[in-house]
Amino acid sequence: MSLLKSREAILALAIVALLAVIASRFPAFITPRNLAGVLTDTSPLILLALGQMAVILTKCIDLSVAANLALCGMIAALMDGMGVPLPLILLAVIALGAGLGAVNGLLVWRLGIPSIVVTLGTMTIYRGAIFLLTGGAWINAHQMSDAFKAFPRTVVAGLPVMAWIAIAIVAGFALLMLRTPLGRAFYAVGGNPHAAVYTGISVGRTQFAAFVLAGALAGLTGYLWVARYAVAYVDIAGGFELDVVAACVIGGIAIAGGAGSVVGAVMGALFLGIIKNALPVVGISPFWQMAISGSAILIAIAFNARANREAGRIILKQAEHRT
């Protein structure tokens, strides 16, 4: 019974139910090969959801992740065009992503501007920077080297490298969240900032670290995205930041901070990823697709709201009943 109460368990059940419904209309969807494809396709969302989770835990939000991804992806494609070797490109985009995240983090930490405003601004700036870099031109498949495009697709032990990267980072992130002072600080800062200060945790510095982490992941994902779809232009991953936030919300990351798990964020991302991949094959009108995605988010939020209310302590039982 207590297992059923855990949000992760409910979400896991929802995913299984979702897969069952899809399989009843399109059985080939749940073949291991296709599911591996879905996991690969959802990898960018998983990576960004993890970074976003760290940010949301600290009571912030990062709307610039998709723009960060697009800018780092474009830089990766440009570097490839200049003949820079792949390992160097990977290091560069991760560093650049972390740097872009640090800009957000510094503005939030040092100037105390609300994160939603900061990242709304940097989101536009990063997209604009891509335009300035390229003049709006695209970088296309034939302009990228084969090694650059092949890396995320290379199949190792049955899964493409892209999926393995996601899996490795999920494991690393779980370790970070559960076993390191920084991971615990994210929860502490979001759960009770004042208490966190008394225990010697700097709220601003922790938020800064969360933004840097989210930025670095967005940078890495930028390369993966561009290499996978073999195209880079200003608008890639347009609106993707909302998917990322939605994955976190569905995964039970409390938007007010301090609560949520890595498993939740990953499952939230998988849930959205399955819907995105299944809708084209189950033959649902595109007009319904958006409504279905939206409903999933609302239902998840309703769940969260209910769970949070029950967690509250009722001090005056009589007063509670009277209202």
Q: Considering only residues 40 through 59, tell me which ones interact with other proteins, judged by CB under 8 A.
A: 41
Q: Give the containing element (helix H, strand E) for 159.
A: strand 159-160
Task: In angstroms, give the least distance from the CB of 207 to other proteins.
Answer: 29
**Residue 18 interacting with other proteins (CB under 8 A):** no
- What's the closest the beta carbon of residue 285 comes to other proteins, in angstroms? 9
Q: Are 186 and 57 spatial neighbours (Cβ–Cβ below 8 Å)?
A: yes
Burial (CB count <10 Å: 0-12, 13-18, 19+), residue 302 = exposed
Structure tokens at 284: 């649902």
| Cβ at position 265, least distance to other proteins in Å | 20
Task: Give the C-alpha separation, 204 to 58, whole Å.
Answer: 9
Among 1, 3, 28, 82, binds other proteins (CB under 8 A): 28
Which residues, numbered 163-222, are part of the site for other proteins (CB under 8 A)?
none
Size of interface with other proteins, in residues (CB under 8 A) = 30
Least distance in Å: CB of 33 to other proteins?
Answer: 11
Nearest CB to other proteins, comparing residues 6 and 143? 143
Q: Which of 14, 37, 106, 303 binds other proteins (CB under 8 A)?
A: 37
State which of residues 12, 15, 26, 78 lies at the interface with other proteins (CB under 8 A): 26
Pick the closer one to other proteins by CB: 120 or 282: 282
Binding mask 232-261 for other proteins (x = CB under 8 A): ---xxxxxx---------------------
Q: What's the closest the beta carbon of residue 155 comes to other proteins, in angstroms?
A: 12
Please name the amino acid found at residue 149. Answer: K
User: Are 53 and 253 spatial neighbours (Cβ–Cβ below 8 Å)?
Assistant: yes
Q: How far are the Cα atoms of 46, 71, 161, 172, 175 from residue 168, in angstroms, in the given order?
A: 11, 24, 10, 6, 11
CB of 5 to other proteins, least distance (A): 34
Q: Any contact of residue 138 with other proteins (CB under 8 A)?
A: yes
Comparing CB distances to other proteins, the nearer of 235 and 320 is: 235
Q: What is the dihedral of CA 250, 252, 255, 256, to 10 degrees?
A: 160
Rounded to a whole number of angstroms, the minimum distance from the CB of residue 163 to other proteins is: 14
| 229 touches other proteins by CB under 8 A | yes
149 vs 74, 219, 268, 318, CA distance in Å? 13, 16, 28, 65
Strand-pairing partners, residue 54, are none
H/E run at residue 36: helix 32-57
DSSP assignment of 243-279 equals: HHHHHHHHTT--TTSS---HHHHHHHHHHHHHHHHHH
In b/e form, how buried is each residue of 37-48, taking b as 16+ CB within 10 angstroms?
A: bbbbbbbbbbbb
Determine, following the binding rule CB under 8 A, whether residue 283 of this chain makes contact with other proteins. yes
Chosen residue from 141, 157, 315, 319 binding other proteins by CB under 8 A: 141
Between CA 183 and CA 172 the distance in angstroms is 11
Residue 145 vs 295, nearer CB to other proteins: 145
Return residues touching other proteins (CB under 8 A).
26, 28, 34, 37, 41, 135, 138, 140-143, 153, 225, 229-231, 235-240, 276-277, 279-281, 283, 286-287
